[in-house]
Amino acid sequence: MTSTYTYSYTRTHTATHLTDVILGTITDILADLGINMDRLHHQWTRNENAIKAWIEEGSLDTVVLECHQPSGAVAPVIEFPVSYTTSGNGNAEFTASRARAARFRAKLDQVPAGTTYRLFCTFNGSRTPQPGWGPGQRASIDGLRGISFGTLGSAPHASTGMRYYGN
């Protein structure tokens, strides 16, 4: 019984931590690019609850941030893939590479005024429906160059990375 409790407790904390890392990094990226974040702040709780629930149940594969420019171009596109492990050490550290992420963000291509964003989530199987989230169509990343950041944040049972696709 104790191991089940520890696993559930740890998985919940892992989901909370990784959700904070992902949404915090998205906020930083949008701020760096000068993209209006009013909608992100208005929908924060909804997005936070959905992403956390999907990480906790292990169904979330990737959170995707697409930047839609006034010209119709979609760039940059930033992916936050989530990886899961079947076991985890309850005493493992919850880590985030915020300083490294800040150096990475400083190299992002700038976007024109009027650029907006969209968030998508992809899944590795069935998932629990979440309020305000429905099906959508991701933009193609064909023709964009990709750079992997590596691990952005880790915790027992799961971690998240970051991949950047730009011109």
Model confidence over 49-64: pLDDT tens digits? Answer: 999 999 999 999 999 9
Angstrom distance (rounded) from CA 151 to CA 104: 12
Range list of H helices, the chain: 2-33, 38-42, 44-57, 98-105
Using the predicted structure, report yes or no on whether residue 114 has a pLDDT greater than 50: yes
Domain residue spans of the chain: 2-166
Confidence of residue 1 (pLDDT cuts 50, 70, 90): very low
- 75 in helix, strand or coil? strand
- Residue of 119, 132, 126, 16 lying closest to 77 (CA atoms): 119
Mean pLDDT of 22-49: 96
The DSSP secondary-structure symbol of 88 reads -
Single pTM value for the model: 0.89
Q: What local confidence, expressed as pLDDT, does residue 100 receive?
A: 75
Q: Is the pLDDT of residue 94 over 60?
A: no
pLDDT at 89 over 90: no
Return the CATH number of 2-166, one of 2.40.37.10, 3.30.900.10, 3.40.50.300, 3.30.160.270.
3.30.900.10
Q: Which amino acid appears at position 105 of this protein?
A: R
Residues 131, 53 contacting (CB under 8 angstroms) = no
- Please give the average per-residue pLDDT across 158-165, as a whole number: 93
What band does 104 get if pLDDT is binned at 50, 70 and 90?
A: confident
Structure tokens that stand for 101 in this block = 């992420």
Proportion of the chain above pLDDT 70, given as a percent: 88
Mean pLDDT, to the nearest integer, of 78-104?
A: 73
Residues 6+ apart with CB under 8 A from 91: none
Between the alpha carbon of residue 82 and those of residues 3, 21, 41, 55, 97, the distances in Å are 24, 11, 23, 8, 15
